[in-house]
């Protein structure tokens, strides 16, 4: 475990319909984050495009690209130049008619370490992802980078404690969640909006507590179609405290310092992993217990 705190940054931006502009903005923000000292930098979900999953339409399939592919190579060159680790969320074309919501991890020397394919795919009004994405088939993964061992999960994955637990058990010290989540623009109740945002934070902070890890969620901002993305990217410490939090409206680069030695401290003082009764969890493999 790295004895020095690891500086991380989350890139929170709005997106437009021009993919080249979105990519250029992300590259600029990654450079800015690196100049501010960040060593691991994470983008929001599907950062090269608007969130096209609000409707079911065939046209957005043209946005997909191979992984690794053109964007991955740009990020590899950038990571090598800046000596930073980059976690980036992309629309992967695996084969004609087969697509994934995928995050790539590039190490600080520019090496492509691999990808994680989103496992949990939502299908709700405004979030019709099952139309576009095949569920991931690579399982949960960790990546040993120059600065830390990290796990990557994507948006809807963040509501599932099993995903966080398994990734933590594989050795992840920081869980990164590239995200695209917001309110339906027709939802005007401030109470409902606050409750939804609070639930989103609470479930992820609980992953940090239950597993004794850092959790970092990078969301987008701005209005796209019928969605108002709520930003509020944040980093939670290994006992659930907010280390840093971004605005709900403004583009920003959120910096945080992750003292990985705190993982051992909290896991020894609150030994949730020690006291797990693993032999009693077989029923978790069932969809429902009648």
* Among 42, 92, 118, 228, the one annotated catalytic: 118
Q: Which of 29, 45, 129, 258 is catalytic?
A: 45
Catalytic residue among 155, 173, 228, 243: 155
- CA–CA gap between residue 212 and residue 270 (Å, rounded): 8
45 is catalytic: yes
118 is catalytic: yes
Question: What tokens appear for 51 in the block?
Answer: 């969130």
**CA-CA-CA-CA torsion for 65, 70, 71, 73, nearest 10 degrees?**
140
Point out the residues that are catalytic. Answer: 45, 118, 155
């Amino acid at each position: 475990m790295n004895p020095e705190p690891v500086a991380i940054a989350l890139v929170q931006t709005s997106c437009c319909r021009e993919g080249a502009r979105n990519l250029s903005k992300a590259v600029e923000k990654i450079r800015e984050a690196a100049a501010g000292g960040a060593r691991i930098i994470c983008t929001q979900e599907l950062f090269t495009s608007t969130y096209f999953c609000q409707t079911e339409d065939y046209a957005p399939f043209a946005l997909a690209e191979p992984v690794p592919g053109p964007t991955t190579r740009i990020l590899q060159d950038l990571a090598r130049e800046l000596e930073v680790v980059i976690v980036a969320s992309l629309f992967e074309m695996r084969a004609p008619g087969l697509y994934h919501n995928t995050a790539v991890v590039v190490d600080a020397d520019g090496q492509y370490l691999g990808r994680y394919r989103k496992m949990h795919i939502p299908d709700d009004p405004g979030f019709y992802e099952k139309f576009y994405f095949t569920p991931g088939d690579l399982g949960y993964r960790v990546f040993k980078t120059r600065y830390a061992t990290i796990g990557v999960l994507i948006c809807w994955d963040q509501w599932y404690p099993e995903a966080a637990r398994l990734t933590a058990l594989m050795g992840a010290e920081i869980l990164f969640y590239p995200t695209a989540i917001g309110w339906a623009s027709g939802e005007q109740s401030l109470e409902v909006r606050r409750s939804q945002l609070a639930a989103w934070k609470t479930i992820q902070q609980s992953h940090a507590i239950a597993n004794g890890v850092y959790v970092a969620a990078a969301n987008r901002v701005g209005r796209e179609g019928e969605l108002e993305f709520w930003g509020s990217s944040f980093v939670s410490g290994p006992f659930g405290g907010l280390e840093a939090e971004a605005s709900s409206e403004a583009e920003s680069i959120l910096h945080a310092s992750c003292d990985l030695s705190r993982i051992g401290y909290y896991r020894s003082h609150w030994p949730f992993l020690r006291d797990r009764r693993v032999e009693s969890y077989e029923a978790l493999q069932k969809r429902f217990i009648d």
